[in-house]
Amino acid sequence: MSQHFLDQFLFVALPYVCLFTFLLVTVARYRMQSYSYSSLSSQFLENEHHFWAVVPFHYGILVVTAGHLIAFLIPRTILAWNSHPLRLYVLEVSALAFGLLTLVGLVGVIVRRFSNTKIRTVTTFTDWLLFAMLLLQTISGISVALFHPWGSAWFASNLSPYLWSIFKLGPDVTYVAAMPHMVKFHIVLAFLTIGFFPFTRLVHVLVIPNPFLWRKPQVVRWYRKR
Amino acid sequence: MDVRSQVSMVFHLDKCIGCHTCSVACKNIWTDRKGADYMWWNNVETKPGTGYPTKWEDQSKYNGGWHSNGNGRLRIKSIGKARIVPNIFHNPHMPSMDDYYEPWTYDYQNLFNAPEGSDQPTAEPISMIDGKKIDVQSGPNWDDDLGGSPLYAANDPNLEGLTEQQKLQLSSVERLVFFYLPRICNHCLNPCCVASCPSGALYKRGEDGIVLVDQKKCRAWRSCVSACPYKKVYFNWFTGKSEKCILCYPRLETGQAPACFHSCVGRIRYLGVLLYDADRIEDVAKLPDDELVEGHRSMILDPHDPEVIANAKKCGISDGVIEAAQNSPVYRFVMEWKIALPPHIEYRTLPMLFYVPPMSPVQASKEDDVIHHSSDNLFHDIDSSRVPMQFLANLFGAGHEGVVRYALAKQKAVRWHRRAETVGDIDRETADRMLREADCTREEAEEIYKLTALCTYEDRFVIPPMHREQAIEMMKEPHEHREETGFGFVGGPQRGM
């Protein structure tokens, strides 16, 4: 029974709390404190190791996150792709490679921030907490990939329906209840990260500047009508 | 014809004494804050010298400005649209704090708190970033007056292309010659910082052309810092936002000259409106190097021309602004007399700050440790000036001497004319011949003399009516917002949330 309640709490209540926190706080922060939306780059203070930490981390985490999103959105296509073993291996190995790239980059980011006193002074408690969460999440993700193969297959068949059930407001925990502990940990931490997201520097992900690619080069603002 | 008005500037280098009053005025008003401590929106450089940040003119290092490949395409040298996607995480051309300096203060508390000992306590320099003791390697105006060393001068990128003869000219009288170059944001017509901002946070104000960073839209992508060839956009390391010279727009809107202009001891600064044709910006920015200065001038419109006035009114420019343009001292220096030139126009941002190049006549020479005075040859040959023509041409003529020679010859003629008028040791005919050769008349020479030497506050600063401040007062009660960070801000600027 207690296991049932724990599952209900971790995989129904917590996701909703985190998702609503994410939605409400990002919007409120953008409307009331748009000044605080910044990537808070530290390249100016330290430019030697910046490239080797920040670039692998970003490329790694972007590809891995996109992979999760694709498996969530089009699970059947993924399953069809995986029907041939060779294609399954290709997918799994590349996912693991980008996971490791994320880990290398993230460790680089943390070491760089900790060892350089100038950047350490502009690193807040929230930043450190966020780094700890991301580090645990990356490590747990890599362990899942290593010890519970073939994640691309069972994510599409079992986790994708669970996530859809959350978004369709009819949460069904039967899919996740049977998952190994490491996978459960990864899911819970993912929701916690989403809930923590709007309070951190991560909000810069939401303001990636798409219009730049097709706007006119020069920006002129008029205060009178023209 | 898309007529727009631009608040433009002239710095008369022949009058600059390098006192840094402008820098201090600016620093006290705008950048005396955490994160902005290293910024010098206004700075004064010794030339020849490396400037601030170090060697900012060396675009092979910084990749600032625009590149024109000759077949009608203009692209940002650092990171334009196509290259932003892979480079947004790490900007490859971004200067770091090492190219500026690490701001520091002194450990004054130690003077009071040090335990009793056999020596006097000292206040050691401590970093303003992490509070640790630092060994100061560089600082504001570190190479001021060349710091007693020829090293800074030798590394000046403008020395490229000078002959050995011209390099010798620089130190023909015992020590190296130098002059001062005060710099603020040029509020360009084709600003590279604006064009490079992925967020669209930088913008040019339509009414007066002032270039600003919207602090609420800046997301610290850092493109502007790399793109600006003059390195006049600075990154606030604490708030994670870019900042730059705002031409003291709150002062301009209330009819006052910007702080650096107002405080200038040598009265070298002039401010006024120029009307220009915005339709031609792109075409002019693409011109070959040797046509850039003339092309830039050809965009600037004559505010007395009835057709221009009619078009300006059609474009919504008010009578007050047109009148200010007609009285603009900048128009006279740049367009009528053609003695003020844009700095490094080969960067193709079309700067709207113009410099009158400095005279550096040889009044003495040294042979076998004996100084010979040559006052009878006063201001005679501008080619043997102590600052070589090619050096000034690299700074103000995109490497081409013509426009610089014209400006110096006219200034020289004005001096001969005034010498004939006041001292009388030069005969009138020689002075008139000088004027003719320099494409100048007696009347024009008098005008140049008056606006250079006898100018009042009202002559130097013709500030157009800008009604913004009144407009906001109609909607908001300023007294209710006293001691706040500004209209519309909930909290003070800080790092993150």
Angstroms from B286 CA to nearest CA on chain A: 15
Please report, in angstroms and rounded to a whole number, the separation of the first and last CA atoms in chain A.
69
Contact assignment for A226 to B237 by CB distance below 8 Å: no
Q: What are the tens digits of pLDDT across the range A103-121?
A: 999 999 999 999 999 999 9
Give the predicted TM-score (pTM) of the model: 0.92
Interchain CB distance below 8 Å, B237 and A121: no
pLDDT at position A2: 76
Q: Which domains does chain A have, with CATH numbers?
A: 2-213 (1.20.950.20)
Select from B90, B191, B489 the Cβ nearest to the Cβ of A54: B90
Distance, in Å, from the CA atom of A178 to the CA atom of B31, rounded to the nearest integer, reads 60
Amino acid at B161: G
Q: Is A39 in Cβ contact with B202 (below 8 Å)?
A: no
Q: In Å, how far is B209's CA from the nearest CA of chain A?
A: 8
Q: What is the pLDDT of residue B177?
A: 84
Total Cβ atoms within 10 A of residue A151: 22
CA distance B99 to chain A (A): 10
- Interchain contact, A221 vs B204, CB within 8 Å: yes
CB contact under 8 A, A218 and B191: yes
User: Side by side, which strands form the sheet with A220-221?
Assistant: A220-221, B202-205, B211-213
Helix, strand or coil for residue A15? helix
Instruction: Choose, out of B88, B98, B219, B225, the residue to mutate when testing the contact with A (most A CBs < 10 Å).
Output: B219
pLDDT score at B426: 86
Of B237, B238, B496, the CB nearest to A201: B496
Amino acid letter, residue B80: G
Mutate to test the interface with B, among A33, A35, A131 (most CBs of B within 10 A): A35
Are the C-beta atoms of B300 and B354 separated by less than 8 Å? no
Peptide bond preceding A171: is omega within 30 degrees of 0, i.e. cis? no
Mean pLDDT score, A4-18: 93
Chosen for mutation from B76, B203, B215, B497 (greatest number of chain A CBs closer than 10 Å) is: B497
Restricting to A residues 25-64, those with a Cβ less than 8 Å away from any Cβ of B are: 29, 32-47, 50-51, 54-55, 58-59
Q: What is the pLDDT of residue B482?
A: 58
Separation CA B238–CA B37 (nearest Å)? 10
Per-residue pLDDT at B479: 65
Close Cβ partners of B370 (under 8 Å, ≥ 6 residues apart): none
Q: What is the mean pLDDT of residues A128-139?
A: 97
Per the prediction, chain A carries an average pLDDT of: 93
Residues 6+ apart with CB under 8 A from B42: B22, B23, B25, B26, B27, B182, B183, B184, B245, B260
Instruction: Compute CA distances A137 → A99, A107, A184, whole Å.
Output: 10, 13, 11
Q: What is the mean pLDDT of residues A3-29?
A: 94
d(CA B47, CA B153): 7
Q: Which residue of chain A has the CA closest to B99?
A: A44
Residues in chain B where the model's pLDDT stays below 50: 469-470
Per the structure block, which two tokens stand in for B465? 């009516």
Instruction: Tell me how long chain B is.
Output: 497
Q: What is the pLDDT of residue B469?
A: 47
The residue of chain B nearest to residue A43, with distances taken between CA atoms, is: B96
Among A33, A218, A225, the residue with its CB nearest the CB of B195 is A218
